[in-house]
């Protein structure tokens, strides 16, 4: 009776899990053998017969009959007198098979056995979930909002698997309510203890890449390839696309008439501004395209012997004065994305820089680098360009205090007065 009850308790967990018959029997046998080994010191001489479909379970201990008083191992040997209590005609040297009832193992052992069963079932299920989602890393995935925390959103998919969307992987404008469907890419899958931790991301460049595959048929079919992606999530992105068929305009196909094709992607990403450009292996041309909408006059490329901070070289780009702010973009966003997309550090220089003018970087000993960077972010990279701007304008366009700006202008004025 107690055997059937134990199998029934196992079925409570098995019914909700995808465990096949062979695996089921393997887990049961592993757990029972571990219990027998703890109880008797060895499980080598035990036969376990399991029929989980009917709830049948039998455990048989096999021992050899020895003369009375000559038993050295009670688990593997049985004395003649004891054997004849089972069958009167047993003789020395014969094998005796005796059924072991669960009740003989003791109540504590049975409780431990049941707990071990539950643990093994969940461990098996967790391993399968881990393997399944590990294969989906980098793939598009949808799940429903189940619980909202201050640092993460907990999602559940159709199979009840828990997926975490951390705050750091959310687009700044993201706002979800319980029950909302959320799309992202599976960023990482790790086993923490025996539980798989599945992390979803909406900020990864791979998410934008996968949206292109889903929303643009030519990308899905392989007629157009997404070569590179650079993103500042929720703000701006640059995507380099290419086609091996000269009859297909990859940029036009991705954007669509009046942006009709890319509109769905932009909306999904919280109105992220997406620049789509033609990819080319011609480095100078690719850098020029990456800096759009600015028009580059000329450039010089210096290749590094080894990569530095993920960059393969440095580029000095010469631009007309009116193109500098376009190349840099608001808050330096455009030049930052161009650098990420191309793999080059990019320095922007004005065309026709007066001889008496001096680049701000020359004042590195007197002005802190982060202050210089604030000016460069709004397209002011020379001493005169900073002096010609009003203090009020500089306060509005940078994150600098008025006192700091006045101090910088004083330093720059002294340079020209000398």
Would you say residue 7 has pLDDT above 80?
no
153: closest CA among 185, 105, 199? 199
Would you say residue 367 has pLDDT above 80?
yes
**For residue 408, what are the β-bridge partners?**
none
Tens-place pLDDT, residues 341-362: 999 998 888 776 545 677 888 8
The mean per-residue pLDDT over the stretch 114-128 comes to: 74
Cα gap 316→314, rounded to integer Å: 7
For tokens 């010191």, what's the residue?
A: 41
Highest mean pLDDT among 119-123, 261-265, 352-356, 412-416: 261-265
Task: Identify the residue with better confidence: 262 or 128.
Answer: 262
The mean per-residue pLDDT over the stretch 229-257 comes to: 92
Cβ pair 144, 181 in contact under 8 A: yes
Tens-place pLDDT, residues 183-211: 999 999 988 877 889 999 999 999 999 99
**For residue 11, what are the β-bridge partners?**
none
Take residue 16 and report the two structure tokens written for it.
Answer: 């909700």
* Residue 216 pLDDT level (bands cut at 50, 70, 90): very high
* Residue 237 pLDDT level (bands cut at 50, 70, 90): very high
* Residue 89 pLDDT level (bands cut at 50, 70, 90): confident
Would you say residue 4 has pLDDT above 70?
no
Cβ pair 315, 287 in contact under 8 A: yes
Cα gap 148→156, rounded to integer Å: 12
Task: Identify the residue with better confidence: 364 or 222.
Answer: 222
* Residue 92 pLDDT level (bands cut at 50, 70, 90): confident
Range with lowest mean pLDDT among 42-51, 99-108, 206-215: 99-108
Task: Identify the residue with better confidence: 272 or 385.
Answer: 272
* Residue 30 pLDDT level (bands cut at 50, 70, 90): confident
Would you say residue 339 has pLDDT above 90?
yes
Domain covering 136-203, topology = OB fold (Dihydrolipoamide Acetyltransferase, E2P) (2.40.50)
Domain ranges (residues) in the chain: 2-131, 136-203, 353-418
Q: In which region does residue 193 sit, left (phi positive, over 0), alpha (psi from -120 to 50) or beta (all else)?
A: left
pLDDT for residue 213: 93
**pTM confidence score:** 0.64
The mean per-residue pLDDT over the stretch 355-378 comes to: 82
The mean per-residue pLDDT over the stretch 203-228 comes to: 94
pLDDT for residue 417: 63
pLDDT for residue 352: 63
Tell me the average pLDDT of the chain. Answer: 85
Would you say residue 261 has pLDDT above 80?
yes
Sort strands 140-148 and 77-79 into parallel, antiparallel or unpaired: unpaired
Domain covering 2-131, topology = N Utilization Substance Protein A; Chain:P; domain 4 (3.30.1480)
Q: What percent of the chain is predicted at pLDDT more than 90?
A: 36
The mean per-residue pLDDT over the stretch 301-328 comes to: 87
- Measure the CA dihedral 2/30/115/52, to 10°: -40
CA torsion sign for 346, 219, 275, 229 is: negative
The mean per-residue pLDDT over the stretch 314-337 comes to: 86
Range with lowest mean pLDDT among 16-30, 231-245, 278-292, 398-412: 16-30
pLDDT for residue 353: 54
167: closest CA among 210, 127, 203, 216? 203
For residue 330, the Cα-to-chain-centroid distance in whole angstroms is: 30
């Amino acid at each position: 009776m107690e055997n059937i009850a134990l199998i029934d308790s196992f079925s409570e967990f098995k019914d909700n899990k995808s465990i096949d018959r062979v695996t089921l029997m393997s887990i049961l046998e592993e757990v029972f053998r571990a219990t027998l080994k703890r109880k008797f010191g060895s499980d080598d001489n035990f036969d376990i017969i399991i029929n989980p479909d009917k709830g049948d379970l039998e455990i048989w201990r096999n021992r050899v009959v020895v003369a009375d008083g000559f038993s050295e191992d009670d688990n593997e040997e049985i004395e003649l007198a004891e054997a004849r209590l089972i069958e009167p005609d047993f003789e020395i040297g014969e094998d005796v098979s005796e059924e072991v009832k669960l009740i003989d193992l003791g109540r504590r052992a049975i409780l431990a056995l049941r707990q071990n069963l539950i643990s093994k079932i969940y461990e098996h299920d967790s391993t399968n979930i881990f393997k399944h989602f590990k294969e989906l890393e980098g793939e598009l995935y949808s799940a429903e909002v189940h619980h909202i925390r201050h640092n993460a959103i907990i999602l559940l998919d159709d199979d009840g698997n828990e997926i975490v969307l951390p705050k750091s992987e959310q687009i700044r404008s993201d706002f979800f309510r319980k029950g909302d469907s959320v799309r992202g890419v599976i960023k990482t899958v790790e086993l923490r203890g025996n539980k798989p931790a599945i992390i979803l991301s909406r900020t990864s460049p791979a998410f934008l890449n996968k949206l292109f595959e889903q929303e643009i048929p030519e990308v899905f079919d392989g007629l157009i390839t997404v070569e590179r992606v650079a993103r500042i999530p929720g703000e701006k992105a640059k995507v380099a696309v290419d086609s091996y068929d000269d009859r297909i305009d990859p940029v036009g196909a991705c954007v669509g008439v009046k942006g009709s094709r890319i509109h769905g992607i932009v909306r999904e990403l919280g109105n992220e501004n997406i620049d789509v450009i033609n990819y080319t292996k011609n480095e100078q041309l690719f850098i020029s395209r990456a800096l759009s909408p600015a028009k580059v006059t000329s450039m010089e490329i210096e290749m590094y012997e080894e990569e530095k901070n993920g960059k393969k070289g440095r580029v000095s780009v010469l631009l007309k004065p009116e193109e500098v702010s376009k190349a840099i973009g608001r808050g330096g966003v455009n030049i930052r994305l161009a650098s990420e997309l191309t793999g080059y550090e990019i320095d922007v220089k004005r065309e026709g820089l007066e001889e008496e003018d001096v680049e701000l970087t020359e004042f590195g000993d007197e002005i802190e680098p982060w202050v210089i960077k604030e000016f460069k972010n709004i397209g002011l990279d020379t001493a005169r360009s900073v002096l010609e701007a009003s203090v009020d304008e500089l306060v509005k366009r940078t994150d600098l205090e008025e006192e700091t700006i006045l101090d910088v202008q004083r330093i720059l004025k002294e340079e020209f007065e000398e």
